[in-house]
Amino acid sequence: MKKSDRKLVRRYRVDNGKKFRLKDTDPRDTGGLDIDKEEAKRILAEGVETLAELQSKLFAQDRWSVLLVFQAMDAAGKDSTIQHVFSGVNPQGCQVTSFKEPSSEEIDHDFLWRVAKALPERGRIGIFNRSHYEEVLIVRVHPEILRGQKLPSECLDDDIWEERFEDINAFERHLRRSGTIVLKFFLHVSLDEQQKRFLARIERPEKNWKFSLGDVKERALWKDYMHAYEEAIRATSTKWAPWHVVPADHKWFARLVVAGTIVDALEQLDVGYPKLDATRKKELAQARRALEES
């Protein structure tokens, strides 16, 4: 993946959340790239190779950590994007956490507790497949979930969403100040494309397990979800934890944007293998002689 290719991805970063409008990003967009799937695979393979090299340096340097947050409507391609983009990364330096319905233990804590436990340590890449943003997305669309979270009545006022946005921003700013780079991706799929992918899950036996009737029920709330996503992105796309709204109707393009964005961020960190001091170099020379004589 050339640097000229990666410059393209920066157009999908939300630099000014206050002016953000979801309708300004076309889910069918391919950034003007006129390439076939084979060429897309070749470019992605280059990106995967570069990412693997940078991840190795990140792990060896052991100073920074990276948190990648993936949010999307069902069938937008989160799982496959993660699978393809990280296909060449050493599992030792990467961890994926999927957040589903909170457990009773998690409900007994604040909404950031369970994600704080899953943060990547220095030198590692952490991937959140869904995240703390569920608390201002699905919970906002389904207020009955909020009522079941055991919050004191005085915490359930009209300002709860703005307050949660503030808490998320403060949390992510703390992470950045502590050496964790936060990149957030909303895979923006269209209603029509989601329908096609749902039908494919029904028609293809090997994909039946991925479909549930609940998916159709959530689809009926599309407008509510789009409003929730727009509000969340507007309020929480910051310079220390920016959102990237990725057109996702074409899976090959979404993968290129995600891979390019991560590579671009790691290159800006200037990660590298630790340099050896004179003492360490002397130890290695002694070890070499000992091995050659053994």
pLDDT single digits (tens) 20-72: 999 999 999 999 998 998 999 999 999 999 999 999 999 999 999 999 999 99
Beta bridge partners of 127: 68, 96
Question: Mean pLDDT in the chain?
Answer: 93
- Contact in structure between 277 and 269 (CB atoms under 8 Å): no
The radius of gyration of the chain from alpha carbons, rounded to an integer in Å, stands at 21
pLDDT band at 6 (very low <50, low <70, confident <90, very high): low
What pLDDT is attached to residue 214?
84
pLDDT band at 80 (very low <50, low <70, confident <90, very high): very high
Concatenating the DSSP letter of every residue in 154-185 gives: GGSSTTHHHHHHHHHHHHHHHHHHTTEEEEEE
Could you tell me the CA-to-CA distances from 153 to 105, 148, 156, 158 in Å, in that order? 20, 12, 5, 11
The whole-angstrom separation of Cα 140 and Cα 291 is 64
The whole-angstrom separation of Cα 257 and Cα 67 is 17
Query: Residue 166: CB partners within 8 Å, gap ≥ 6?
Result: none
Domain residues for the domain of 168 are 3-293
The answer to whether the predicted template modeling score (pTM) of the entire model surpasses 0.75 is yes
The whole-angstrom separation of Cα 207 and Cα 114 is 30
Tokens of 143: 């207020």
Tokens of 4: 């000229």
Note the pLDDT tens digit of each residue in 153-194: 999 998 999 999 999 999 999 999 999 999 999 999 999 999
Q: Can you tell me the mean pLDDT for 103-126?
A: 97
Range 37-46, long-range pairs (CB < 8 A, 24+ positions): 37/252, 40/252, 40/253, 40/255, 40/256, 41/252, 43/1, 43/5, 43/256, 44/1, 44/84, 44/85, 44/252, 44/255, 44/256, 44/259, 46/1, 46/2
**143 pLDDT exceeds 70?**
yes
What pLDDT is attached to residue 64?
97
- Report which DSSP code applies to 201: H
Place of tokens 């050339």: 2
What pLDDT is attached to residue 2?
60
- Contact in structure between 132 and 112 (CB atoms under 8 Å): yes
Domain count, the chain: 1
Distance of alpha carbon 83 from the chain centroid: 12
Note the pLDDT tens digit of each residue in 285-294: 999 999 999 8
**4 pLDDT exceeds 80?**
no
Note the pLDDT tens digit of each residue in 233-282: 999 999 999 999 999 999 999 999 999 999 999 999 989 998 888 898 88
pLDDT band at 88 (very low <50, low <70, confident <90, very high): very high
**150 pLDDT exceeds 80?**
yes
Which CATH number covers residue 282? Answer: 3.40.50.300
Q: Can you tell me the mean pLDDT for 86-107?
A: 94
Beta bridge partners of 24: none
